[in-house]
Amino acid sequence: MTVRTRVAPSPTGDPHVGTAYMALFNRVFAKSQGGRFILRIEDTDQARSSAASEQAIYDALRWAGLDWDEGPDIGGDFGPYRQSERLEIYRRHADRLLESGAAFRCFCTQERLDEVRRAQQSRRETPRYDGHCLALDPHEVAARVDRGEPNVVRLRVPEEGDCRFEDGLRGEIVIPWRQVDSQVLVKSDGFPTYHLAVVVDDHLMQISHVLRGEEWISSFPKHQLLYHAFGWPMPAHYHLPLLRNPDTSKLSKRKNPTGLNYYRRSGYLPEALLNYLGLMGYSMPDERELFTVDEMTAAFDLNRVSTGGPVFDLAKLDWMNGHYIRALTPGQFMDRVADWALNRDNLSPIAPLVQTRTERFIDILPQVDYLLGERAKLTAADFEHKTLSVEDCRRILDHAVRRLETLDDWQRDALYTAIKSLADAMDIKMRDFLSPLFIAVSGRAVTLPLFDSLAYLGRDLVRSRLRSAIEALGGVSKKEGKRLERSYRALV
């Protein structure tokens, strides 16, 4: 049997370090077995998926060196590899489930479902579909479908007993069927949900081993039900531990840089990042800590993957990155620095901004230090302003973070429009509103134009600087965070 593994990111937002983590282990395992590693794009969420984000995934994974044998952009024998291009396949399979009775149509409105959920929660029950449409008369169902009444397809779940399954790392896992919800398999827009798509695709793409995050353990029973309903053999499943924040919660961008682009733009070498990721929940048989992906592949042993959630520790990553940088020859070092940022392509957006402000070339570097390097560390004193209080600054920065988080188009003009409308909504003069942003981003009040700087730095670096600025201003308590969230929502 050929080993085939996959990584299946959804193209929503920025490429995540967790995606690289899963890609690394899937790729290393497949290659260690002489198998193939597949990239599949899970873009079944029409509202959140974007072509730009999909492209960003390709770029980020290629930067990391985690290339794939089959994928949407390079093709392969089991395509298409983009789920939005497989709708007909899912529809056909959903019909099979409907015919066999493994699934049923549900006409419940969002309002009714919300109400049911609320009632269940107030009774302190686990929110769960209440079976309202489970036993509809087939003729009625057909008639309502013919009338074009919106509906979804749901999975029929056993009322009693336990679901048992084998996890390659954790042994047998037993989950009571009562815990499992009648999952929606096909949404009212005709798109499948993850659960249907993942099973159908993993089967049709002949995936032999599924290495994925442990967040999927609790939905495994649904997948098992689907494999059984289709009469398909199940791939071996391995639930890898989740990367953690220093406070041990699941790695999140609010608490840690999680964007691959943050690491790329900050000047981490991909081989260092990958080496570090290879140490998360894994150790080499001979305990060596410095190794390449090829070396990891040559010695890989799935049984050495551990199950405790590892904290992503920037201090050790930094040390390791430094180690890899020092190991370069001076020539390689210069090439890598040029690849990173000191090249025409990367410098060209900055050049026109600096040129008009330059009398002698010696004036250039101090102006661009914060664009090409880390900006100076801030204290509350840096934000002092004639009319804005510390609280005002925190509120501005907080709201700016929230606003920029949801901004799709990370271009100068779009950034301006977003920030301007926010300042107007908060009834603060643009000139004042921008002051803490200038400090947060560049470390000083007099500097190159803000929106060009934001555009140049990119989402990940900007988020990280804004957040650290808020920390410098005393940070935001849980309570204040909630207040700020309400205040923000009242504005937009």
Partner RNA sequence: GUCCCCUUCGUCUAGUGGCCUAGGACUCCGGGUUUUCAUCCCGGCAACAGGGGUUCGACUCCCCUAGGGGACGCCA
Is residue 326 close enough to count as binding RNA by CB under 7 A? yes
Minimum separation from the CB atom of position 462 to RNA (A): 23
Peptide bond into 80 cis (omega under 30): yes
**Residue 390 in the binding site for RNA (CB under 7 A):** no
Is 44 a binding residue for RNA by CB under 7 A? The answer is yes
Identity of the residue, 246 or 475, whose beta carbon is nearer to RNA in the bound complex? 246
Q: Which of positions 249-278 make contact with RNA (CB under 7 A)?
A: 249-250
Catalytic residues: 253
Q: Does 311 bind RNA (CB under 7 A)?
A: yes
Instruction: Report whether 281 contacts 310 (CB < 8 A).
Output: yes
From 170, 357, 429, 483, residue interacting with RNA (rule: CB under 7 A): 170
Residue 333 as a binder of RNA (CB under 7 A): the answer is: no
50 interacts with RNA by CB under 7 A: no
* 8 A C-beta contact, residue 81 and residue 71: yes
On whether the CB atoms of residues 133 and 106 are closer than 8 A, the answer is: yes
- Which residue's CB is nearer to RNA, number 273 or number 439? 273
The single residue among 2, 55, 100, 109 that binds RNA, judged by CB under 7 A, is 109
- Does 356 sit near RNA (CB under 7 A)? no
Tokens matching residue 310: 């590892």
Q: Which of 257, 309, 436, 443 binds RNA (CB under 7 A)?
A: 309
Q: 451, 441 in Cβ contact below 8 A? A: no
| Residue 417 binding RNA, by CB under 7 A | no
Judged by CB, which is closer to RNA: 119, or 380? 119
110 binds RNA, rule: CB under 7 A: yes
- Our finding on whether 319 is near RNA (CB under 7 A) is yes
Instruction: Between 38 and 469, name the residue whose CB sits nearer to RNA.
Output: 38
Q: Which is nearer to RNA, 67 or 130 (CB)?
A: 130
Neighbours of 355 (CB within 10 A): 9
Among 59, 69, 313, 432, binds RNA (CB under 7 A): 313
What residues numbered 213-252 form the site for RNA, per CB under 7 A?
214-219, 241-242, 244, 246-250
> For 240, phi and psi rounded to 5 degrees?
-80, 155
Interface characters, 2-41, with RNA (x: CB under 7 A): ------xxx-x-----------------------------
Single-letter residue type at 308: G
Please choose, out of 127-135, 138-146, 201-209, 228-236, the segment that lies near RNA by the rule CB under 7 A: 127-135
- What residues are paired with 152 via a beta bridge? 106
- Whether 273 and 263 have beta carbons less than 8 Å apart is answered as yes
Q: Is 282 in the site for RNA (CB under 7 A)?
A: yes
- Which of the residues 133 through 152 are near RNA (CB under 7 A)? 150, 152
CB of 377 to RNA, least distance (A): 15
Sequence-separated (6 or more) residues with CB below 8 Å from residue 432: 385, 387, 388
Applying CB under 7 A, among 118, 164, 228, 316 the residue interacting with RNA is 316
The nearest distance, CB 180 to RNA, in angstroms, is 9
What number of chain residues touch RNA (CB under 7 A)? 71
Q: Does 280 bind RNA (CB under 7 A)?
A: yes
Residues of span 171-190 touching RNA by CB under 7 A: 171, 173-176, 179, 181, 184, 187-189
Is residue 303 part of the contact set for RNA (CB under 7 A)? yes
Nearer to RNA, 28 or 473 (CB): 28
Taking the least distance from each CB to RNA, the nearer of 247 and 359 is: 247
We find the least distance from the C-beta atom of residue 376 to RNA, in angstroms, to be 17
Q: Is 329 in the site for RNA (CB under 7 A)?
A: no
**CB closer to RNA, 281 vs 443:** 281
Task: Quote the least distance from Cβ 239 to RNA, whole Å.
Answer: 7
Establish if 323 lies at the interface with RNA (CB under 7 A): yes
Residues 58-97 binding RNA (CB under 7 A) are none
- Segment contacting RNA by CB under 7 A, of 31-39, 135-143, 282-290, 393-401: 282-290
